[in-house]
A and B are shown apart, each in its own frame.
Chain A
Amino acid sequence: MTTGNKDILSARAEAPRVATLLESAIRDIGIPSRPSILDRINAEMHKDEPDFHHLAHIIASDVGLGAGLISIANSPYFGFRGRARSVNEALMMLGLDVASRAIAGMILRKLFPPSPALDRFWHASAIIARLAGWLAQQPANGSRVRADDAYTFGLFRDCGIPILLNRFPNYPTVLKNANGERELSFTAVEETECPTNHAVLGSMLAQSWWLPEEICLAIRHHHDYVALGQQEGAAVLPPATLGLIATAQFAEHLLQHHTGLSKTHEWDKAGAICLELLQIEDKDMQSVYEESAFVIANDN
């Protein structure tokens, strides 16, 4: 989970306004099936020779998406030397897989009416996604997850939260309680006040957008530390899923470490298991802290 105390307080203060906004927007539309633009991109991607010009045309037909994609391609996290100046160049640099998932992340965000609380939430998700992608590429990370999967997981991991924020007026309080909880799991706290939790909701949304299985499973179980620790009787998760959960949790910890944002007790509950899964030892931590700083510092 990513929303920090500061965010929660803001979200709490703005809850009535968010609810009002909902009345007029989200509440009317619901969260749709996979947007058709993703299907069109997907169809082009699966051709033997995808037509990048045609794809760029589809994406650029939505100005916000085109600009967003260029901005992502130019993000230092991806480490490209050149700079993309067009959607076509951004597609070439990112590759179609990453581009389509980055677009999915942008579309998800666009579904919600803008608000300062949600803006901070999306901002934190974007940094965690980039940090997770960066962590996946570090030699010290023994989980061997794919960087683009880690990036996508970071974007979608908490996508259930904005939906719940917008549906349940008391959800900001629930979030605050869950963030402050030291013993119970985050989702258990959510379920004391809500009929569902952001992990189940997020995984179903991700499935309906046809995200990869490992990512859907990771969204579902990212607060299930019994499964993460592979304890007896718990859900058996594929290694890639365990690696994704641990990588993103560590990314969130790095965000907390560097910025003080996204304060939760999740790292206290799961940090040891995550580091074990990532095969990162205490002695390596300082260098990870130092080297990860640039991913946040170069945030654009």
Chain B
Amino acid sequence: MVATQIDPTTGFLDRYSCLKVAADLVARVRESGQPLAALWIDLDRFKQINESYGYLSGDSVIAFIAQRLRENVGSMAEIGRVGADEFVCLAPNFTRDHAERLAGDLMHAIETPLEIGEVHLRPSASIGIALLEAGDAPFSLLERADRAKISAKKQGGNRYVVSGDELVSGRAGTLLAREELAVEYMLHNALETGGLRLNYQPTVGFDGSVLSVEALMRCTVNDKIIPPVKFIPVAEKTGLIVRLGEWSLLEGTRQARRLQDAGLRTRVAINVSRAQLLDKKFAQALHAALVCANVEPELIELELTESLFMDISNTVQDNLRTVRGCGVSLSIDDFGTGYSCLANLKDIPAGKLKLDRAFVLVLPYDRRAMSVVRAMVQLGKDLGMTVVAEGVEKKEQMEALWDLGVDGIQGYYYATPMDSDALFSWLKEN
């Protein structure tokens, strides 16, 4: 054991002792091959507490928080006070799961309201977690925990971040996790090297006619496919979604034109994001696409989630008016899963309602879901809308939906998303 000194306010190891214990633990754990976790805990806004209430109150707060830390950690780990409002917790045998659970418990314990004399607080903390890695120098474990803690602070505090998951500043200045940063890089690359394309999935009517084809964006960089579930959230965070959306708008309208030239008057449905509708230049971009592709607006449909129709901001409402005014049609995507008020549905200027795939998934065996879908179909039809179901993969789902009266079905049961050439062949065959 190493000789240690105790911090009088908290009863924890002081800074110097904590560093010595860390070095000792790292050496011992290395020999045994056990895991070791370090948690760097930093109270949020502590400086303001000291400035507002004085250092004596600050010390009292620290003593209370220390008590809470001790109660939760017990004998599982060593704790040191490494700064005025910073603690390090060294937990042998802790895997990532254990460490995250402990961090969650500590945050919960810390945020219980505190009353010390006149001071009424709801404290919170930012925690950085690092797991010992092969080749870690004695203090690099703590350095990584500290960096992770700084990342947690930058994200607004009151959270924990595991080393390696820190957010770093992306190209547009947005804070991103490392994996997201890689995706952002690939998106920029795709935008400059032609890594984007649209696939198309038809919606088929009861009589087999094609009501529309939905344009779905695909991204490939250096032969690596990046799934939409990965690149769409990053695009939304970084604002790149507007550029992707505009590209999709132009490419989708061009596809409508190509179809028209081939004698196939098929409507192309293009997804529009919230960020696009909040952009003051959305109307100009939509018209630019129509002008550039030289396509009839009636052959274009824009798909928006229902919450966007409810957005009361002037920009969104102006943009929706523009869409209506130029002859492009609107459809409500993923209907039924948002929090919109049904009473507002009558005011939505959409011609098509797309039932969310969550309802389709449980058909036809979930009788309650059947009732809900029946009601939604009736509601949509009474309001003069075309009602379509998406995500249909099985014959029994398809049969149930036709029985319930939907006007169209989109899903793997009829056709998977396909590239432009395959779409032409499919349309000609069907």
B251 adjacent to A196 (CB under 8 Å): no
A39 adjacent to B291 (CB under 8 Å): no
With A and B bound together, what is the CA distance between A34 and B249 in angstroms? 15
With A and B bound together, what is the CA distance between A212 and B188 in angstroms? 9
Contact of A207 among B247, B283, B284, B287 (CB under 8 A): B247
Further pairs besides A163-B292, A204-B246, A213-B191: 7, Cβ < 8 Å: A34-B194, A46-B193, A164-B291, A200-B285, A201-B288, A201-B292, A216-B243
Contact residues in B for A42 (Cβ distance below 8 Å): 193-194
Q: Which of A206-245 contact B (CB under 8 A)?
A: 207-208, 210-213, 216
Q: Please list the 4 inter-chain residue pairs (A to B) with the smallest Cβ-Cβ separation, ordered nearest first.
A: A30-B294, A195-B287, A196-B287, A201-B288
* Given contacts A204-B246, A212-B192, A196 and B291 within 8 Å (CB-CB): yes
Q: How many B residues face the partner with a CB closer than 8 A? A: 26
Give chain A nearest CB distance to B408 CB in angstroms: 28
Contact residues in A for B257 (Cβ distance below 8 Å): 30
Give chain A nearest CB distance to B219 CB in angstroms: 13
Judge whether A74 is part of the interface by a CB distance below 8 angstroms.
no
Q: Mark B297-324, 1 if CB is under 8 A from A, else 0.
A: 0000000000000000000000000000
Give chain A nearest CB distance to B259 CB in angstroms: 12
Judge whether B20 is part of the interface by a CB distance below 8 angstroms.
no
Give chain B nearest CB distance to A159 CB in angstroms: 10
Contact residues in B for A32 (Cβ distance below 8 Å): 254
Q: Can you offer 24 A-B residue contacts whose CB atoms are under 8 A?
A: A30-B293, A30-B294, A31-B293, A33-B254, A34-B194, A39-B194, A42-B193, A42-B194, A160-B288, A163-B291, A191-B284, A195-B283, A196-B285, A200-B288, A201-B292, A205-B250, A205-B292, A207-B191, A208-B247, A208-B250, A208-B254, A210-B193, A212-B192, A216-B243
* Given contacts A200-B284, A213-B188, A213-B192, A31 and B247 within 8 Å (CB-CB): no
Judge whether A249 is part of the interface by a CB distance below 8 angstroms.
no
Contact residues in B for A163 (Cβ distance below 8 Å): 291-292
Main secondary structure on B side of the interface with A: helix
A residues with CB within 8 A of B: 26-34, 39, 42, 46, 160, 163-164, 167, 191, 194-197, 200-201, 204-205, 207-208, 210-213, 216
Q: Across the interface, name the chain B residue whose C-beta is closest to A220.
A: B281
Give chain B nearest CB distance to A138 CB in angstroms: 27
With A and B bound together, what is the CA distance between A132 and B192 in angstroms? 22
Judge whether B326 is part of the interface by a CB distance below 8 angstroms.
yes
With A and B bound together, what is the CA distance between A46 and B195 in angstroms? 13
Contact residues in B for A160 (Cβ distance below 8 Å): 288
B291 adjacent to A201 (CB under 8 Å): yes
B250 adjacent to A204 (CB under 8 Å): yes
Give chain A nearest CB distance to B272 CB in angstroms: 14
Judge whether B289 is part of the interface by a CB distance below 8 angstroms.
yes
Q: Across the interface, name the chain B residue whose C-beta is closest to A22.
A: B294
Judge whether B295 is part of the interface by a CB distance below 8 angstroms.
yes
Give chain B nearest CB distance to A108 CB in angstroms: 12
Contact of A196 among B188, B191, B192, B284 (CB under 8 A): B284
